[in-house]
Amino acid sequence: QSVLTQPPSASGTPGQRVTISCSGSSSNIGSDTVHWYQHLPGTAPKLLIYRNNQRPSGVPDRFSGSKSGTSASLAISGLQSEDEADYYCAAWDDNLKGVFGSGTKVTVL
């Protein structure tokens, strides 16, 4: 049971906008920053968004992050076939230290 709750799946057609939620509590998202990772099968996870809404160099601006209270969201606009992957939110938790979300599988229809 993950401390951070994400929907198990999300989908969209090419070009659409997809949003993934990450729900936490005052001991994690509510008190610290959120990061997002993209994980393709057979590869190492990739940092997509850090500190709520910052993109590392090389990450397309189609990916954006936001946080409000004890929840965060990752938005993928202009969905592309190569965006089909698992997405995880992550944060620091006052009790458990490093925590990940349950993961969301994004399917491009």
Q: Using CB under 8 A, list all residues that contact other proteins.
A: 2, 32-33, 35, 37, 39, 44-47, 50-51, 56, 88, 90-92, 96-103
Nearest alpha carbon to residue 37 among 99, 96, 80, 81: 99
CB of 20 to other proteins, least distance (A): 13
15 Rama class: left (phi>0) / alpha (psi -120 to 50) / beta: left
**Vertex 42 angle, CA 39 and 89, to 5°:** 15
In terms of CB distance, is 12 or 45 closer to other proteins?
A: 45
By beta-carbon proximity to other proteins, the closer residue of 13 and 98 is 98
Shortest separation between residue 53's beta carbon and other proteins, angstroms: 13
